[in-house]
């Protein structure tokens, strides 16, 4: 299962969850892998321990995004503040 919300990306397969949260949404814009069965709080990223699994999960998301026509969202866009650069000017 893959999900896109406000430009953030999520994919779940079994007990694995890969997420990418954009900087404007308080993330770092990088993909991270979690075992949501053993770590439901998603407090211990497994990126370095299981890089191939993370690659597979990202590929699943990319296939989903291509199939559904997901349009990338700018890293500096926030649903609450618009483009962060514009918010700084006000």
pLDDT value of position 85: 66
Residue 89 has pLDDT above 70, yes or no: no
C-alpha–C-alpha distance, residues 22 and 7, integer Å? 7
pLDDT value of position 80: 82
pTM of the prediction?
Answer: 0.86
CATH number at 2-89: 3.30.1120.10
Residue 45 has pLDDT above 60, yes or no: yes
Closest residue by Cα to residue 1 from 39, 15, 20: 15
Domain residue ranges of the chain, discontinuous segments joined by +:
2-89
pLDDT value of position 86: 55
pLDDT, averaged across the chain: 91
């Amino acid at each position: 299962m893959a999900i896109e919300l406000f430009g953030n990306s999520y994919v779940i397969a079994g007990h694995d969850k890969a997420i990418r949260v954009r900087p404007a949404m308080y993330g770092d814009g990088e993909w991270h892998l979690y075992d949501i069965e053993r770590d439901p709080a998603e407090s211990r990223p497994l990126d370095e321990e299981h890089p191939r699994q993370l690659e597979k999960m990202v590929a699943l998301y990319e296939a989903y995004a291509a199939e559904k026509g997901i349009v990338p969202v700018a890293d500096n866009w926030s649903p609450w503040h618009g483009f962060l650069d514009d918010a700084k000017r006000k």
